[in-house]
Amino acid sequence: MINVDAFAGKTALITGGTGFIGSNLAIKLIELGAKVTIVDAMLPGYGGNLFNLEPIKDRVTLNFADIRDFHALNYLVKDQDYIFHLAGQVDHVLSLTDPFPDIDINIKGTATLMEACKIHNRAAKVIHTGTRGQYGPATKLPVSEDAPTHPRGIYEISNLTAEKIMQIYHDIHGVQCVLLRLTNIYGERHQMQHPRYGVVNWFVRQVVDGQPIRVFGDGKILRDFLYIQDCVDAILMCAQTDAAYGEVINIGVDAPTDFIELAETMIRAAGTGSWEFAPFSPERKAQEPGDFYSDISKIRQLAGWQPTTLLEDGLRKTIEYYRQHKQHYW
């Protein structure tokens, strides 16, 4: 369970807080009584959307700055109890053609944030949301934290590097960090403009638009899909757990689903729709790591978290949200 005392009256900075995960986290933190500041550069093509903050718009402090701006971060990290580091280059497809935004935002941006913490706030607790992609192809399923890391893309490499930079600041400079590796997250407040990242939400858009869901390849690849509210709980339960600091921790679902099952569950949740096979683009096929699902025994044991939302229920809530608010996302 989330311990309200860990967050009530505490200060929290969220980098990338107008985006998908960051905005849902901000809403929950404010519900818990935290004072939340968001720093976001609203870069085009990513998930930053002010409508995401509608439920808390009068209770959140918004700062439009870039995490690569050392001066801005020097100011923003001061007096923060928690720093949730979610700003990032997240476009997997872009990273196939241009490696530099990943290197610049995910590596340099993370180093900038950690350097600011080292100088101005060593007492902050910093939480990083890395990706399951840091593992690359699974050597054994489910994938646990001690599995080898052979990432298959620059996005994934830059996240692994960011994680290692944070580990150094934890070990050497005493800035406490939790190093999370998230599976595919879906749900309310994800960008719906393009399919370059966030495949489950893109399926939601196809269903809401009355288009057939396009399932790549043979649809048999296994994944674990986690609902955003479960993900937010997992992040907060790690943040409140002293023993989580200094640790790499998976956030996912230990029951896998293939893409055909995902499409069929989505159609059931929507009460309408159809699906069809579509070919992978050659680049996507080359980057595709194959079957993956997370071993979550570590987070269960350390933080007492496990997912509670069934896929069909999470999808139903997501579809309802976009049916109601689609003018803010399409």
Ligand X SMILES: NC(=O)c1ccc[n+]([C@@H]2O[C@H](COP(=O)([O-])OP(=O)(O)OC[C@H]3O[C@@H](n4cnc5c(N)ncnc54)[C@H](O)[C@@H]3O)[C@@H](O)[C@H]2O)c1
Contact residues for ligand X, defined by CB under 6 A: 16, 18-22, 40-43, 46-48, 66-68, 86-88, 90, 105, 109, 129, 131, 182, 184-185, 191
Coil, strand or helix: which one is 12? Answer: strand
Q: How far is the CB of 20 from ligand X (least distance, A)?
A: 3
CB 249 → ligand X: shortest distance, Å? 13
CB-nearer residue toward ligand X: 19 or 142: 19
- CA dist., res. 90 & res. 109, Å (int): 13
Q: 67 or 204, CB closer to ligand X?
A: 67
Render 35-94 in DSSP notation, one character per residue: EEEEE----TTS---GGGGGGGTTT-EEE---TT-HHHHHHHTTT-SEEEE------TTH
Reduced to 3 states (helix: H, G, I; strand: E, B; else coil), residue 259 is helix
Measured in degrees and rounded to the nearest 5, phi and psi for residue 170 equal -70, -50
Check: CB of residue 21 under 8 Å from CB of residue 86. yes
Residue number, 20 or 329, with CB nearest to ligand X: 20
- Please list the alpha-helical segments (H only) found in the chain: 20-31, 70-76, 94-97, 100-101, 109-120, 154-173, 199-208, 228-239, 259-270, 282-287, 297-303, 311-325
Q: Which is nearer to ligand X, 129 or 161 (CB)?
A: 129
Least Cβ distance, residue 315 to ligand X (angstroms): 15
Instruction: Identify which of residues 184 and 257 has a Cβ nearer to ligand X in the complex.
Output: 184
Amino acid at 61: T
Instruction: Using the minimum distance from each CB to ligand X, give the nearer residue, 52 or 121.
Output: 52
Nearer to ligand X, 11 or 15 (CB): 15
Strand partners, 130: 181
Nearer to ligand X, 127 or 174 (CB): 127
Q: How far is the CB of 18 from ligand X (least distance, A)?
A: 5
- Distance in Å, CB of 228 to ligand X, minimum: 8
Which lies closer to ligand X via its Cβ, residue 108 or residue 214? Answer: 108
Residue 210 CB, shortest distance to ligand X, in Å, is 25
Is 159 within 8 Å of 89 (Cβ atoms)? no
Closest by alpha carbon to 280, among 267, 293, 289, 272?
A: 289
Closest separation in Å from C-beta 8 to ligand X:
24
201 CB neighbour count, 10 Å cutoff? 24
Burial class (CB in 10 A: 0-12, 13-18, 19+), 110: buried
Backbone phi, then psi, for 288, in 5-degree steps? -65, 120
Please report how close the Cβ of residue 299 comes to ligand X at its closest, in angstroms.
Answer: 15
In the complex, minimum distance from the CB of residue 213 to ligand X, in angstroms, rounded to a whole number: 18
User: In this structure, what token pair is assigned to residue 78?
Assistant: 């001061």
